[in-house]
Amino acid sequence: MEYKDYYKILGVARDASQDEIKRAYRKLARKYHPDVSKEANAEVRFKEINEANEVLKDAEKRAAYDQLGSRWQAGEQFRPPPDWDAGFEFSGAPHQGGQAQDFSDFFAELFGRRTRHAGGAQRRAAGQDHHAKIMLDLEDAYRGGTHRVSLRVPEIDASGHLAYRERSLDVQIPKGVRAGQQVRLAGQGAPGMGGAGDLYLEVQFRPHPLYRVDGTDIYLKLPVTPWEAALGATVKAPTPAGAIEVKIPANSQSGRKLRVKGRGLPGNPPGDLYLTLDVVLPEAVTPRARELYQTMAQELAFDPRHSLGV
């Protein structure tokens, strides 16, 4: 297990006041909150920051952590001294607010001993619900299908110690799920006297190289030739459910949007597919191609800059 330098994570001195810690936490939390941040590693950083704050904001935990001394380096292999937390009693549950936060093994080892139950989490005997995210490809929403989901589940063992356990489930995701949607697996949360809790999975799509998803609609940039755009044509376009044929109206320009009804995400009603035309010019690399362009230049009276007044 690696030692974690909570002061370094929050960027404060070891003798920082509680106010300084609070301010440092707020600033970093705003920067790295996964719902807000555009930083690539936001989620990982946010967990770290939250964990550091969980310890340093709490006088008991901070005192216990300080007792380990300052000689440890972040990342160094760490094993707590056998009697390190003697005399400390952590009154809060490790998961403040009942939200099963994904803290590190280092945290679990140091603060995972529950001496008293937290009121909130134990207010009724039913098992707690668990929440996790599942990443799918856009195509999965069209097909449905079975996915293996790996979860890291916090558990209190027989000696009252918090530990994390890997758990994997095969889950059949129905057709037509949307980004941000919650799907429920009844009875797959934490066990409890009054029945197990439920497991909720939040569906997210991996970014797709071709399609952009907005609600139930999907968007695709469709390259067309100048003559398809000018004369009109029926061309093939891909969709996550397979290729379709689309009619390009004559005299279309780059950027023209075509709506293909009902070819977005499946559902009731299904979403639509929007194609944005992108006119691509053939390169003038052969003598024949140059000749054709020259003919157009001579025979078509066309000035696209007319409206610019030049």
Partner 1 sequence: MKQMESHANPTLLADCVFTLTLEQIAWTCTAEPAWICQLVDEAILNPSGTTLADWRFSAEDLARARRAWRLHHELDANLEVLGLMLDMQDEIERLRARLRCV
Residues 214-243, interacting with partner 1 (CB under 8 A)? 214, 219-221
Mark residues 31-60: x for contact with partner 1 by CB under 8 A, - for none. Answer: --x-xx-x-----------x----------
Residues in the chain: 310
Name the nearest CA neighbour of 271 among 216, 219, 226, 228.
216
State CA 174 to chain mean position distance: 20
Name the nearest CA neighbour of 25 among 37, 44, 40, 9.
9
Whole-angstrom Cα distance, residue 187 to residue 204? 22
Mark residues 157-186: x for contact with partner 1 by CB under 8 A, - for none. Answer: --------xxxxxxxxxx-xx--xxxxxxx
Whole-angstrom Cα distance, residue 112 to residue 55? 12
Q: Where are the extended beta strands (E) located within the chain?
A: 130-136, 145-156, 162-173, 182-185, 199-205, 211-214, 217-224, 233-237, 244-248, 257-260, 273-279
Should residue 244 be labelled a site residue for partner 1 when binding is judged by CB under 8 A? Answer: no
Binding test (CB under 8 A) with partner 1, winner from 75, 80, 97, 195: 97
Q: Cβ closer to partner 1: 32 or 111?
A: 32
Residues 106-125, interacting with partner 1 (CB under 8 A)? 120-121, 124
Q: Cβ closer to partner 1: 110 or 201?
A: 201
Name the minimum Å distance from CB 57 to partner 1: 13
Residue ranges binding partner 1 (CB under 8 A): 26, 29-30, 33, 35-36, 38, 50, 97-99, 120-121, 124, 126, 128-129, 131, 146, 150, 165-174, 176-177, 180-186, 188, 198, 200-202, 207, 211-214, 219-221, 276
